[in-house]
Amino acid sequence: VITWIGNGADVLMERALTWARQERATLRKTMGKPPVDDDIPAEEQVRILRKLFDRYYSEVAEEGTFLFPHVADTLGALQAKGLPLGLVTNKPTPFVAPLLEALDIAKYFSVVIGGDDVQNKKPHPDPLLLVAERMGIAPQEMLFVGDSRNDIQAAKAAGCPSVGLTYGYNYGEAIDLSQPDVIYQSINDLLPALGLPHSENQESKND
């Protein structure tokens, strides 16, 4: 399931349905039964499943969600330096603000773009271009930090430099395969490059 994550909820639903259909076909073949056609069109199945997903996710989104070490300290240091910060995620928009508030990092971002705010999600450049537009800067002036193939591909397509982090969901791939401009083991490794002290304060994971 981890490899299904990263392209937004609708794509997640499509991948789940594709897997379920394949499993059903394999099971029926094993039992010597012929394949069956779906009575409900694929698009309608995705719509129904997305509705059920949203209902369930709204109840459990904050469970098991945590910050990686040094994230809050690094965001605070960057904000204190006067750097505007934006966040781009393929996660459904209605769930983004509550999660940021629960993690106590909403205060750091002046622009937040969720998966429902643009027609084309990462790895398409549209979300990053929208952030640049709302910040009033050129894409080339924006540094995009991410931990997945989709992040780095979106940055390249938008024309902005990228930093790849070595943790997170990335389809089981090493981030260097996506060829970001810089690779860091931890987000606070970014601070010395910007003339800020390297934070050594270990953050605990949030429940």
For the stretch 134-167, pLDDT in tens is: 999 999 999 999 999 999 999 999 999 999 999 9
For the entire predicted model, the pTM comes to 0.74
Same domain, 112 and 138: yes
Do 113 and 182 lie in a common domain?
yes
- The count of structural domains within the chain is 2
Segments forming the whole domain that contains residue 187: 71-193
DSSP string, the chain: -GGGTTS-HHHHHHHHHHHHHHHHHHHHHHTTPPP---SS-HHHHHHHHHHHHHHHHHHHTTTT--PPTTHHHHHHHHHHTT---EEE--S-HHHHHHHHHHTT-GGG-SEEE-TTSSSS-TTSSHHHHHHHHHHT--GGG--EEESSHHHHHHHHHHT--EEEES-S-STT--GGGG--SEEESSGGGHHHHTT-PPP--PPPPP-
- Assess whether 98 and 186 both reside in one domain: yes
Q: What local confidence, expressed as pLDDT, does residue 61 receive?
A: 65
Co-location of 28 and 105 in the same domain: no
Do 99 and 163 have their domain in common?
A: yes
pLDDT, tens only, 21-76: 788 778 888 888 877 777 788 888 888 888 887 777 777 666 778 899 999 999 99
